[in-house]
Amino acid sequence: MSSVKIFSGTASHYLSEKIAQFYGQPLGALTVQKFNDGEISPNFNESVRGEDVFIIQSTFPPADNLMELLLLIDAARRASAKYVTVVLPYFGYARQDRKDKPRVAIAAKLVANLLSAAGADRLMTCDLHAGQIQGFFDFPVDHLDGSAVFFPYVNSLKLDNFIFAAPDVGGVARARNFAKHFAVEMVVCDKHRKRANEIASMQVIGDVEGADVILVDDMVDTAGTLCKAAEILRDKGAKSVRAICTHALLSGKAYENIENSALESLAVTDTIPLRRESSKIKVLTVGELFAEAIKRVHGHESISSLFL
């Protein structure tokens, strides 16, 4: 049986080290060099012939992270790896998953095509912006659920009267999953945008009077939606408002928005590294989750029990 070799791209080295530690073996040796003009040149420093290779690299900005990943896949394939699994803790460009207006690209499908063309055999990722993105791939996709790390966190809060809230209609299924698990109620914040990252209006569907509300989302970018929702929920009588989001993009004035918001805390995972510390932001690791998933994929075992 082939053995497992785990390698990391430069963008996710901090997380890859945790995954390798939980898995029980060191990261494989590779070098990623750059020419003076910025051109990327990766090189595996050990043999991968006949091995099950797992390449860990999130594709958050800049686009070099995606290009580096594609080159690593190609290098592994040309080095005669038996099986190449791409581990994408954060799948970039996932928000562009459909034609929501004329003459736009479907970037998520394009990225899927690029990964396939580079030679990937399998994809492992966490909390896609939309589960349907799995259908863009013609090879197996292991879609891990971030609730595996958030459920214990919610229990640790020891709240007596808590409910979950979706910050927009698109997040209803995600919030319902949490509400169903804890057998509590949920509400929905219905928002309307004038343009990307700018909210025109928002209203709450449901009763939050006297409740500790936990907002659930897959990612937080500028934090405008979360902060607006927190403000409205408090105005509607919520006792407190917290949030849990898997992917912490936190661009623009996100940190300032969070610090000055009605949010008591924001729990995120380490699929994306924080640019700076914040007293309101708590980071939970998905290292153990991915390490266990890698073990089960290599051993041809089911991974659904990790999060069901």
CB neighbours of residue 184 within 10 Å: 16
Say yes or no: domain 4-145+287-306 is CATH 3.40.50.2020: yes
Q: Which residue has the tokens 């729990």?
A: 267
| Residue 179 pLDDT class (50, 70, 90 cuts) | very high
Task: State the pTM of this model.
Answer: 0.92
> pLDDT tens digit string along 139-167?
999 999 999 999 999 999 999 899 999 99
Contacts of 24 (CB under 8 A, 6+ apart): none
What does the block give as tokens for 281?
């932001």
Task: Name the active-site residue from 99, 180, 191, 236.
Answer: 191
Rounded CA-CA distance 303/68 in Å is 28
In Å, how far are 239, 257, 270, 273, 281 from 277, measured between CA atoms? 26, 14, 13, 10, 7
Rounded CA-CA distance 105/114 in Å is 14
Q: What percent of the chain has pLDDT over 90?
A: 87
Quick check: 195 pLDDT over 60? Answer: yes
Rounded CA-CA distance 91/136 in Å is 13
Distance of CA 220 to the CA centre of its chain: 10
pLDDT of residue 202: 79
pLDDT of residue 2: 81
pLDDT of residue 273: 96
The CATH fold assigned to 147-284 is Rossmann fold (3.40.50)
Quick check: 199 pLDDT over 70? Answer: no
**101: annotated active-site residue:** no
What does the block give as tokens for 296?
């089960």
Residues 206 and 154 sit within 8 Å (Cβ to Cβ)? no
| Per-position DSSP letters for the chain, written without gaps between them | -PPEEEEE-GGGHHHHHHHHHHHTSPPPPEEEEE-TT--EEEEESS--TT-EEEEE---PSSTHHHHHHHHHHHHHHHTT-SEEEEEESS-TTTT--S-SSTT---HHHHHHHHHHHHT--EEEEE--SSGGGGGG-SS-EEEE-THHHHHHHHHHH--SSEEEEESSGGGHHHHHHHHHHHT--EEEEEEEEEETTEEEEEEEES--TT-EEEEEEEEESSSHHHHHHHHHHHHTT-SEEEEEEEEE---TTHHHHHHTSS-SEEEEETTS--SS--TTEEEE--HHHHHHHHHHHHTT---GGGT-
Rounded CA-CA distance 209/233 in Å is 9
Domains 4-145+287-306 and 147-284 share a fold: yes
Quick check: 200 pLDDT over 60? Answer: no
The domain limits of the chain are 4-145+287-306, 147-284
Residues 25 and 56 sit within 8 Å (Cβ to Cβ)? no
Quick check: 198 pLDDT over 60? Answer: no
CB neighbours of residue 34 within 10 Å: 13
